[in-house]
A and B are shown apart, each in its own frame.
Chain A
Amino acid sequence: MGQGSHGDRVGLGIPPEHPLLVWSGPVAAAYRGRVIDFRGRNPLRAAGYLVGGVLVGAPLLVGMLVLGVVGAALSVVLVGLPLLVLLALSGVPVGALERWRLRLLSGLGEVRHAPTPPGTAPRRTAASPKYVQYEGDAAARRCTAPNDAGTHPTSRDRLGPATVPDPHRTPPEPGLTAWARLRLTEQATWRELAYAVLLAFVLWPLDLLVLAFALAVPGAMIGAPVQLAVSADTSGDTRIVKLWLIDSYPQAAVCAAAGLVLLLALLWPLTLYARARAAFARLLLAPREAETERRLAEVTRSRARLVAAFDAERRRIERDLHDGAQQRLVALSMTLGLARLDAPPALAGQLAAAHEEAGQVLGELRELIHGIHPQVLADYGLADAIADAADRSPVPVEVSLELPRFAESVESAAYFAVREALANVGKHSGATRARIDGSYQDGRLLIGVRDDGCGGADPAAGSGLTGLADRLAVLDGTLTVTSPAGGPTVLRLEIPCPSR
């Protein structure tokens, strides 16, 4: 999508999905051509947000009063205590609803289509035009959404309207009790309760007042001719907002015009108030930094567990195949071999064919099992396993590794990364030789794979490196690929880890 054409439409403040919400005029004209999200500045949305506040706040006031009074009265006989707990937790659904409502005013005027900030684009240098650094989580994103023009959508666009994240944790076990117990210990719950109380007692009346002043007064003035017409057959005059007496149509027309001017003049303060109101809600309802960090830590841990489970599953499959199919095939091949010794000549040919077939299946199965998880990695460690992988490479590989033993997860991640690199050397590079260097220094495992091929490897083009970068990221490791056109391609991986 071109930045220019899209920019114009956004500049008019017309979300493409709402063709009826047209807002134009001098203010809009002033913004024309600037790429700004007007969702936070659209007065109709602002008014809608405030009307919603009244619709939520008024019933909330009634509900909280009822719960509080009944709960307090009944607490003498203990029945009321659960009601009071319910009152304490009432902020949680209110908070969720209010966070949802904030979407109406989301993007408080941020620039929507910013050029890619320098830190998020793949780092490239003139010397190596195809230089992509993978680091942590961002690896996948950088690989899948490379964009030279710097116009690719920000995360806001992909998620739709900006949502305020939920500050709550996921209960460790199912059930209402666990949920309530967790919520009552969370700071966010009490912030939400505070917001709910404020909404019920202060904010919604304030919203109503602002709405009444900003919309109802100009509205009544604009409606002066109609009111005059309605009252024509009774009194022949009408009082606008209980203030001005109007008895002729020219007066009514002037009043209506003045109302229109007032309405336009008040739209700006109305919007400002709504934005301040939304900012206040966001302050109380959005997760604090510590809460965000805790969630991130949870996700990081669960990702590490996933990778560990994946590794364990690989080993289990390898073990199952080894103990099952492979042993049976060897036994079958043995039986066929023995049968051939005593077979009558008429059968010998068929037996030989069956024997041959069994041998080939056995060979294929052996390679398959080796690919799933090589036993040499568990027995002898990374250096021998990499040397073994190098032996199998169709391109001659020189190996120079000085490595101690590491944790299983480290060895396995590094091994599969090197194997993928070797596979790429064999498949794409056109290299005639490759070299693997590895060392362990200052608590960091470093391995480099270099080939003399034609270079130009594009990690984004599904070379399998993305997944490996993610696996290394779990261990805080990094994977760097430099592959200028014309070669050489160098892949370096680095994992901070203790030796075993």
Chain B
Amino acid sequence: MPESLRIVLAEDSVLLREGLVGVLERFGHEVVAAVGDADALVEAVAAYDPGLVVTDVRMPPGFQDEGLRAALALRAERPTLPVLVLSQYVQRAYAAELLDTGDGTGVGYLLKDRIGQVEQFAEAVERVAAGGTVVDPEVVRQLLRRRRDPLAALTPREREVLGLVAEGKSNGAIARELVVTEAAVGKHIGNILGKLDLPPAEDTHRRVLAVLAYLRG
């Protein structure tokens, strides 16, 4: 069991807020504050100094992107504060802004749909809290679609692996997902980085950032 996290949660829908508290507590974490708007989120972070912030994008009063703005402001103030942003839609712009805060580590951007996959969601929460980068597969899919030309050099399997790398998955996780050995995954990744002219990186976080930067380019 990974260590228990102290989490500040911001979500304006009571139904979802209660549900999220339930899920997070089910995995042994402590929700120290559950608030319903962006201002309360900033206050709660100042008051509780949590190990992770989980926030919705769209919140009162304007119902635009207040949650994201608050998350960005928090990251600007404390670049090491892990933040996981939940969005009803995939917006590349949201993900891009998040990844540009701090050094791009300890941030996550997920569709709300993913909360339903409770185990994967819990895994993402822990990865972000540990300084990892988690990007929703949907965002990665869009990014992959954008840079079609250079990616044409990759085999279908390599593109699949690249997508999983961009989502922030470790070699082990990728191997489990594709039902292959870790060594095979390592070989694919080596090929990908070579074909795309990216520097080889053993560290998962650095590798994710390099791949994402390339895809966004």
- B-binding residues in A (CB < 8 A): 319, 322-323, 326-328, 330-331, 333-338, 340-341, 355, 358-359, 362-363, 366, 369-370, 374-376, 378-380, 384, 387-388, 391-392, 396
A334–B117 CA distance with the chains assembled, in angstroms: 7
- Mostly, the B contact residues are helix
What B residues does A374 contact at CB under 8 A?
A: 89
| CB-based contact A333/B115 at 8 Å | yes
In addition to A319-B63, A337-B119, 16 A-B residue pairs with Cβ atoms within 8 Å of each other are A322-B58, A323-B13, A326-B88, A327-B16, A330-B113, A334-B20, A359-B117, A366-B89, A366-B111, A369-B88, A379-B91, A379-B93, A384-B93, A387-B93, A391-B146, A392-B142
A385 vs chain B, min Cβ distance (A): 9
| CB-based contact A331/B58 at 8 Å | no
| CB-based contact B142/A391 at 8 Å | yes
A305–B115 CA distance with the chains assembled, in angstroms: 41
> What are 29 A-B contacts defined by CB distance under 8 Å?
A319-B63, A322-B58, A327-B13, A327-B15, A330-B113, A330-B116, A331-B15, A331-B19, A333-B113, A333-B116, A334-B19, A334-B23, A334-B115, A334-B116, A337-B23, A338-B26, A338-B118, A341-B119, A358-B116, A359-B113, A359-B117, A362-B116, A366-B111, A369-B88, A379-B91, A384-B93, A388-B91, A388-B92, A391-B142
| CB-based contact A355/B93 at 8 Å | no
When A375-B89, A375-B91 are in contact, do A336 and B13 touch as well, CB less than 8 Å?
no
The residue in chain B whose Cβ has the minimal distance to the Cβ of A378 is: B64
A380–B91 CA distance with the chains assembled, in angstroms: 10
| CB-based contact B93/A380 at 8 Å | yes
The residue that B23 contacts in the complex, of A319, A338, A340, A378, with Cβ under 8 A, is A338
A336–B117 CA distance with the chains assembled, in angstroms: 9
In the complex, which residues 102-129 of chain B have their Cβ closer than 8 Å to any Cβ of chain A?
Answer: 111-113, 115-119, 121
- Mostly, the A contact residues are helix
What B residues does A322 contact at CB under 8 A?
A: 58, 88
Specify which of B15, B65, B89, B115 lies most central, judged by the most chain A CB atoms within 10 Å of its CB: B89
What A residues does B142 contact at CB under 8 A?
A: 391-392
- The count of residues in chain B whose C-beta lies closer than 8 Å to any C-beta of chain A is 31
The residue in chain A whose Cβ has the minimal distance to the Cβ of B68 is: A379
| CB-based contact B15/A362 at 8 Å | no
A388 vs chain B, min Cβ distance (A): 6
> When A and B form their complex, what is the total count of cross-chain residue pairs whose Cβ atoms lie within 8 Å?
95
A322–B57 CA distance with the chains assembled, in angstroms: 12
What B residues does A340 contact at CB under 8 A?
A: 118
When A323-B13, A338-B23, A378-B64 are in contact, do A330 and B91 touch as well, CB less than 8 Å?
no
| Residue B199 is within 8 A (CB to CB) of chain A in the complex | no
What B residues does A358 contact at CB under 8 A?
A: 116
| CB-based contact A341/B26 at 8 Å | yes
A185–B156 CA distance with the chains assembled, in angstroms: 77
When A334-B23, A391-B146 are in contact, do A359 and B88 touch as well, CB less than 8 Å?
no
| Residue B187 is within 8 A (CB to CB) of chain A in the complex | no
| CB-based contact B118/A334 at 8 Å | yes
What A residues does B145 contact at CB under 8 A?
A: 391, 396
The residue in chain B whose Cβ has the minimal distance to the Cβ of A328 is: B15
| Residue B200 is within 8 A (CB to CB) of chain A in the complex | no
What A residues does B118 contact at CB under 8 A?
A: 334, 337-338, 340-341
A370–B63 CA distance with the chains assembled, in angstroms: 15
A168–B92 CA distance with the chains assembled, in angstroms: 54
A341 vs chain B, min Cβ distance (A): 7
| CB-based contact B16/A376 at 8 Å | no
When A334-B23, A338-B118, A388-B91 are in contact, do A379 and B112 touch as well, CB less than 8 Å?
no
When A322-B58, A323-B13, A388-B91 are in contact, do A336 and B116 touch as well, CB less than 8 Å?
yes
| Residue B194 is within 8 A (CB to CB) of chain A in the complex | no
A46–B61 CA distance with the chains assembled, in angstroms: 71
B14 vs chain A, min Cβ distance (A): 9
The residue in chain B whose Cβ has the minimal distance to the Cβ of A342 is: B26
| CB-based contact A391/B92 at 8 Å | yes
| Residue B22 is within 8 A (CB to CB) of chain A in the complex | yes
| CB-based contact A370/B113 at 8 Å | no
What A residues does B112 contact at CB under 8 A?
A: 326, 330
What A residues does B65 contact at CB under 8 A?
A: 375, 379
A363–B58 CA distance with the chains assembled, in angstroms: 18
A-B interface, 3 closest residue pairs, ranked by CB to CB distance from nearest: A333-B116, A337-B118, A391-B142
What A residues does B148 contact at CB under 8 A?
A: 396
What B residues does A331 contact at CB under 8 A?
A: 15-16, 19
The residue in chain A whose Cβ has the minimal distance to the Cβ of B139 is: A391
A151 vs chain B, min Cβ distance (A): 49
A233 vs chain B, min Cβ distance (A): 102
A363–B89 CA distance with the chains assembled, in angstroms: 10
When A334-B116, A341-B119, A359-B113 are in contact, do A375 and B93 touch as well, CB less than 8 Å?
no
The residue in chain A whose Cβ has the minimal distance to the Cβ of B113 is: A362
The residue in chain A whose Cβ has the minimal distance to the Cβ of B120 is: A337
The residue in chain B whose Cβ has the minimal distance to the Cβ of A393 is: B145
Specify which of A328, A369, A375 lies most central, judged by the most chain B CB atoms within 10 Å of its CB: A375
B159 vs chain A, min Cβ distance (A): 15
